[in-house]
Amino acid sequence: DAGVIQSPRHEVTEMGQEVTLRCKPISGHDYLFWYRQTMMRGLELLIYFNNNVPIDDSGMPEDRFSAKMPNASFSTLKIQPSEPRDSAVYFCASSRPKGLNTEAFFGQGTRLTVV
Amino acid sequence: DQQVKQNSPSLSVQEGRISILNCDYTNSMFDYFLWYKKYPAEGPTFLISISSIKDKNEDGRFTVFLNKSAKHLSLHIVPSQPGDSAVYFCAASAPGSSGDKLTFGTGTRLAVRP
């Protein structure tokens, strides 16, 4: 398996523009997570899905952020409109249920810069 | 409100010596703990984990210790190698409906000097 695949790797956009980050989880994993990494807060969980259904979006900072998982092999995280403070590295991760004693596997991340 | 805390942002250790990375947590419901390692421009990768029913788990040069009464865990790397230089994240999860999500600390950057 190629692992969790994220695109793009880098994104530079102007303030006010819409940004869409993409993720393909590992096949067979039921859970998909979106994290944001910043110096101050480390890795923050934004939202996670189980079997394509959003379970907990309490980490989504504002209504400008939205995430979808239309099928088991694809998820998007959208920021509209983007702001400079959204600049961070965004990670997608996937896993099987905890009961199967497995950890989350992370993608390589998308480095977002909003100017 | 950081439920998982790594109070040392950085650590420097001589090659061959022991590296000890610390992590504290506040949520007494956490029952599973993990350490992830992250190299620059890569995603975090799983390193080692421990369940709350244990107080120690060892995997090669890596050992994780859990002190539930102190709500503290630590990762020991011995002997340390230059390739261990990375950012290490501590993470925890709780049972129940939220049991599959991980709460991470802010990370500790380990530098192993040759």
Chain B positions touching A50 (Cβ under 8 A) are: 100
**Least CB–CB distance from A103: residue in B46, B101, B104:** B46
Beta-carbon separation of B44 and A48 below 8 A: no
Chain B positions touching A106 (Cβ under 8 A) are: 36, 43-45
Q: Are A4 and A106 in contact (CB under 8 A)?
A: yes
**Least CB–CB distance from A42: residue in B34, B41, B107:** B107
Query: How sure is the predictor about A60, in pLDDT bands with cuts at 50, 70 and 90?
Result: very high
Q: Are B99 and A98 in contact (CB under 8 A)?
A: yes
Look at residue A97 in the predicted model and tell me its pLDDT: 72
**Least CB–CB distance from A91: residue in B6, B43, B105:** B43
Chain B positions touching A109 (Cβ under 8 A) are: 41-43
Q: How far apart, in Å, are the Cα atoms of B86 and each of A108, B19, B21, B89?
A: 15, 12, 12, 10
In angstroms, the CA B14 to CA B106 distance is 23
CA atoms within 13 A on the CB side of A75: 35
Look at residue B94 in the predicted model and tell me its pLDDT: 84
Residue-wise burial string across A35-69, b where 16 or more C-beta atoms lie within 10 A, e elsewhere: bbbeeeebbbbbbbbbeeebbbeebbeeeebebeb
Residue ranges for chain B with pLDDT beneath 50: none
Identify the helix (H) or strand (E) that includes residue A86.
none
pLDDT for A34-54, tens place per residue?
999 988 888 999 999 999 999
User: What is the torsion angle, in degrees rounded to the nearest 10, for the CA atoms of residue B44, residue B45, residue B50 and residue B51?
Assistant: 80
Please spell the DSSP secondary structure of A19-30, one letter per residue: EEEEEEPPTT--
Look at residue A2 in the predicted model and tell me its pLDDT: 79
Look at residue A47 in the predicted model and tell me its pLDDT: 95
Q: Is B10 on the interface with A (CB under 8 A)?
A: no
- Alpha-helix residue ranges (DSSP H) falling in chain B: none
**Least CB–CB distance from B99: residue in A44, A98, A109:** A98
Whether A99 shows a pLDDT value over 70: the answer reads no
Look at residue A113 in the predicted model and tell me its pLDDT: 97
The set of long-range contacts for A55-61, using a CB threshold of 8 Å and a minimum separation of 24, is A55/B97, A55/B101, A56/B98, A56/B101
pLDDT for B53-68, tens place per residue?
999 999 999 999 999 9
Look at residue A40 in the predicted model and tell me its pLDDT: 82
Look at residue B98 in the predicted model and tell me its pLDDT: 56
Which of B21, B102, B108, B109 would you mutate first to test chain A, the one with the most A CBs within 10 A? B102
Averaged pLDDT, A8-37: 95
Look at residue A96 in the predicted model and tell me its pLDDT: 83
**Structure token digits, residue A100:** 């199967």
Chain A positions touching B101 (Cβ under 8 A) are: 33, 45, 48, 55-56
Query: How sure is the predictor about A25, in pLDDT bands with cuts at 50, 70 and 90?
Result: very high
